[in-house]
Amino acid sequence: MSGQERPSVAAAIDECRRHLHYLRDANSRIVWPLTTQQMEAPADELVATLDQFAFRFSRLQDTLGQKAFRAILVGSLREPFEDSALRDVLDRLEQLRLLPSAERWEEIRAARNSLAHDYPDTPAQRSARLNLAQPMVSEMGAILDALAGAV
């Protein structure tokens, strides 16, 4: 990605904030923890809210990982990570204390993948996946705050 194609730090942070806003809105309208019974025959409103939650969770995780992390390192901190592997970017952010744990980010990525794909599964599995992702909302918010504070 050339310098002209790379998102600015401010644009990446703003995009993340937008996704986080709508993710928090969906999160606040869900009664946690979700139960198997709720997922067996969910009301239309719950389905719409869960769709918003899953979509915004995925978009926030993607935007942080694909845009904001590298934009902060390269654009703000002037570090040579333009073409580095994502794991190297994660490790450097952890060293700078902008990311609590590269391993935890991989867990958040795995949760994103499980939400983004419509696997044929049981109501118990769906509720478990969503319940696993729910506390990650505040974790991604804290990561975004740390990144924004580094600008």
Whether residue 67 lies inside any domain: the answer is yes
Residue 139 lies in a domain: yes
CATH of the domain at 91: 1.20.120
Per-residue pLDDT, 6: 55
- Those residues whose C-beta lies under 8 Å from the C-beta of residue 90, and which sit 6 or more positions away, are 69, 99, 102, 105, 106
Asked if 136 contacts 58 with a C-beta cutoff of 8 angstroms, the reply is: no
Q: Let me know: does 108 contact 132? Beta carbons within 8 Å.
A: no
Number of domains making up the chain? 1
Q: What confidence tens digit (pLDDT) does each residue in 40-88 have?
A: 999 999 999 999 999 999 999 999 999 999 999 999 999 999 999 999 9
For residues 141 and 149, what is the distance between their CA atoms, to the nearest angstrom? 12
With bands split at pLDDT 50, 70 and 90, how would you rate the model's confidence at 4? Answer: very low
Could you tell me the pTM of the whole model?
0.92
Q: Please check whether residue 131 lies inside any domain of the structure.
A: yes
Residue 8: C-alpha distances to residues 19, 42, 79, 116 (Å): 17, 41, 15, 26
- Answer whether residue 4 is part of any domain: no
The answer to the question of residue 96 being in a domain is: yes
Expressed as residue numbers, the domain containing 85 is: 9-149
Under 8 Å between Cβ of 65 and 86: yes
Any domain includes 2? no
